[in-house]
Structures are given as structure tokens and as C-alpha cells.
Structure 1
Amino acid sequence: MVFCLFCRPSQVHPDPSDHPDPLILPPPSLTFETVNGWSVCLSHLIATEAGQDEFEKFLLNEHSEDNLLFWKDVQELKKGEEEKKDVMKIEEQVSIIFDDYIAQGAPKEVSIRANTVAIVKENMKIPNKEVFDLAQQEIFDLMSRDSYIRYISSPSYQKLLDSVTTTVPLLSATAATAEEQVVKCKTN
């Protein structure tokens, strides 16, 4: 579940990773609507390849990109339809993700609760595409509360928003209100 920037803390919104195959849109030429939509919630930001790229650039500057990289690698594991029948390929991917992000001393170790690590280890006894669901959700929630908020408040996001605003009026008759954006975040 995701917390949106414009939502009360008690309003929880679905994470695109909750769906079996979340749609990742190809990088469009950035528009005001797209970039402004990223400020609604983390789900909107990472639903586009361009959003993921911009967020990753920000995280690289903070030396905190590992959470997003883990989230993306788990998404890739879940996406692979052709590998559905190839158990060996899934086992290999699961092992790589575990070794890279969750194992003690992993090169890109993410910070998840000890009980989550224990659940992942138990899930790995029968490797499948859902092994990391709990850990991915925990990392998503962490990014939503922490690095996402910093990104949306950052000069780099504001500069990007300003660069796409120069061609579009700030308030247009067709622009969605913040409340409409929150509703969209709830349903996505």
C-alpha cells in the first residue's frame, strides 16, 4: 500500500506491484501533466519508465538507489511470462535478487525487518515470482514515506516541472484537481 503526498495519513493507496503485471509505460516526451502527476503518489512516479529514470537519478545523488533497484528487479522477476514454465530460470533470478539485496552483507543490501527476511528465506524453499512480495511492499512503503517525499520536494524535481511548464499554462480548464489525482491514485 502507498501513502500519497496529498492524502491524509490514514488513506492508503494500492501499489502497482500489487497487480500481477503492472503496466510500465514507455518513456513519453515529458509533459506537464506527466511530471505533475508524479507528485500525487509514488505509484504514479514509478508507473512510467521516465519517472523511474528521474527518481533513480535523484536517488543516485543521495546514494540511496538500492531500494528502487530492488523494487525494479522484483518487478522484472514478476513480469517474465515466458519464464513462467522455466523453474530453473526463476530459481536463478530469485537467488540473484536475494544475494544482491537481502543476504547479510549483500552489495546493495536493503533495509527490511528481520521477520521479513525470515519470511523471504522461507518462501525461497519453493522459488516463485512471489518470493519477495512482502519485502518489495516494505521497500515500496519506505520509499513512499522517505525518499519519494524528498524527491518531490527537491530542486531537481521542481526544475524538471518548471522545464515542462514553460509550454503549458499552470492552470487549465482540463487539468485535474488534486482531489481527482488522489482518486486516480486510489484506483490504480
Structure 2
Amino acid sequence: METPLVFSQLNMCESKEKTFFKLIHGSSKEEGSKEDKIRVSPKEAVIWGESFDKLLSHKDGLEAFTRFLKTEFSEENIEFWIACEDFKKSKDPKQILLKAKAIYEKFIQNDAPQEVNLDFHTKEVITKSITQPTLHSFDAAQSRVYQLMEQDSYTRFLKSDIYLDLIEGRPPRPTNLRRRSRSFTYNEFQDVKSDVAIWL
């Protein structure tokens, strides 16, 4: 009898995070069509070049910047920042605890699926406070990630085809937006012959 190939570890956190991150990002079915939804005038897009805050405060600016980060495989930074913004709006203590744990497991802990680049001290402070989080638990980490994006990714975004097309009123070019993953899927290795038992 054949044993079905199951990688249960790929969905370990899904149930806890699913509802929370669906609220932030929408369903995955929408992801492919998002680049078609960026419809701004060149005049609006030019404003995004004035400051990083102006880019992030505009819904389409945030979407264009996220699309750019995906081409650089660093979208975890903006996703973490968005998750922190949403987290700070939480009111219910139970919701604060659940969201804090989801953010920690997805972005902060060692080998998290979308681990952001933080110094040891910042990570340590968050790790110690995660059992009793406050609305300010991620402030230092969010500020650090914001600075990294502003000083690094934002300047490259302003020179990117994605942004230049918008300010010149050209339709967006198709981009190859592959999801970076630290784990593999069955489809990527379907031609590899191996003993299933080694994975169990």
C-alpha cells in the first residue's frame, strides 16, 4: 500500500495565523491580480517620491512598494510592518495575545517562515515579553524594519521600472513574482526518487 506524501510541517502555524493574516493581506486568490489594481495618476505617484511616509500612507503606494519588494524577495519587511500597524489597533487582551504570538512566530523567532532582520537585543526583548505582550511590544522592531526599508529598499524602488512606469503613465509590465520559501513543496521535487520513510 502506498503511503501518501504529507509534509505537515508546512502548515504548522496556518490555523492560528490564517484569520489574522487574511484580514491584512486578503485571500491568496487575489494576490495574482493585485498588480492590475494599481491605478493611479502619474501626479499621485510622483508624491510617493517625496517621502517614504507618503508612499506608505497611500493604499496604491503601499501595494506598488509591496510588489517591488516581492521582486527582491524581501516582502517580509513590509508584511511585518503592516502586521505591526494592525496589531497596534487591537483592543481586546485576548486578541493582543493571539496577534502578538502570530507575529512572533511568523516574523521574529529564529527560523521563522518570514524572519525579518533584527539585532539580537531587539529579538531578545520581544522573546521575553511575548507571554504578556503590550501594544508596544513590537515598536522597536517595527522602527528598525522601517528604517531598513526607508534607507535601502525605498531608494531602489524610486529607480525601479515599477515606479518609473507609474510616474510616466505606462501600463505595468508583467513581473515574475515568485514566493520565496525556506521550505520546499512536493511539486518542486516530484521527479526526485526518494524513500518516503526518511521524511516521517
Same structural fold, with TM-score higher than 0.5 when normalized by the shorter chain: yes
CA deviation after TM superposition for structure 1 residue 113, in Å: 0.7
CA deviation after TM superposition for structure 1 residue 28, in Å: 9.2
Structure 1 position 111 matched with structure 2 position 117:
yes
Match runs of 1:143-182 below 5 Å: 143-163=149-169
Alignment check: 8 A CA contact 2:107 2:114 kept:
yes
Task: Note the residue ranges of structure 2 that are not aligned, 5 or more in a row.
Answer: 1-36, 171-200
Percentage of pairs with the same residue: 28
Alignment check: 8 A CA contact 2:107 2:115 kept:
yes
- Classify the secondary structure of the residue corresponding to 1:104: coil
- Classify the secondary structure of the residue corresponding to 1:112: coil
How many angstroms apart in 1 are the aligned matches of 2:127 and 2:111?
A: 15
How many angstroms apart in 2 are the aligned matches of 1:28 and 1:105?
A: 33
How many angstroms apart in 2 are the aligned matches of 1:35 and 1:120?
A: 36
Instruction: Return the structure number with greater relative CO, CA threshold 8 A, min gap 6.
Output: 1
How many angstroms apart in 1 are the aligned matches of 2:43 and 2:166?
A: 12
- Classify the secondary structure of the residue corresponding to 2:122: helix
Larger radius of gyration: 2
| 1:12-67 deviation line (CA, Å, top 9, x unaligned) | xxxxxxxxxxxxxxx99523332111111211110011111100111111111000
* 1:122 equivalent among 110, 128, 145: 128
After superposition, the CA RMSD in angstroms is: 1.7
Structure 1 position 44 matched with structure 2 position 50:
no
Aligned letter for 1:60? Answer: K
Measured at CA, do residues 57 and 29 of structure 1 come closer, stay the same or move farther in structure 2, by a change above 3 Å? closer
| 1:110-158 deviation line (CA, Å, top 9, x unaligned) | 0011111112123324212111000000000000111111001112211
Task: Note the residue ranges of structure 1 that are not aligned, 5 or more in a row.
Answer: 1-26, 165-188
- Classify the secondary structure of the residue corresponding to 2:158: helix
TM-score by length of 1: 0.67
Matching residue of 1:62: 72
Matching residue of 2:15: none
How many angstroms apart in 2 are the aligned matches of 1:130 and 1:70?
A: 14
How many angstroms apart in 2 are the aligned matches of 1:37 and 1:123?
A: 39
How many angstroms apart in 1 are the aligned matches of 2:165 and 2:38?
A: 18
The count of corresponding residues between Structure 1 and Structure 2 is 134
Matching residue of 1:31: 41
Matching residue of 1:11: none
How many angstroms apart in 2 are the aligned matches of 1:34 and 1:120?
A: 37
Measured at CA, do residues 28 and 151 of structure 1 come closer, stay the same or move farther in structure 2, by a change above 3 Å? closer
Aligned letter for 2:76? Answer: D
Measured at CA, do residues 78 and 115 of structure 1 come closer, stay the same or move farther in structure 2, by a change above 3 Å? same
- Classify the secondary structure of the residue corresponding to 1:136: helix
Alignment check: 8 A CA contact 2:42 2:166 kept:
no
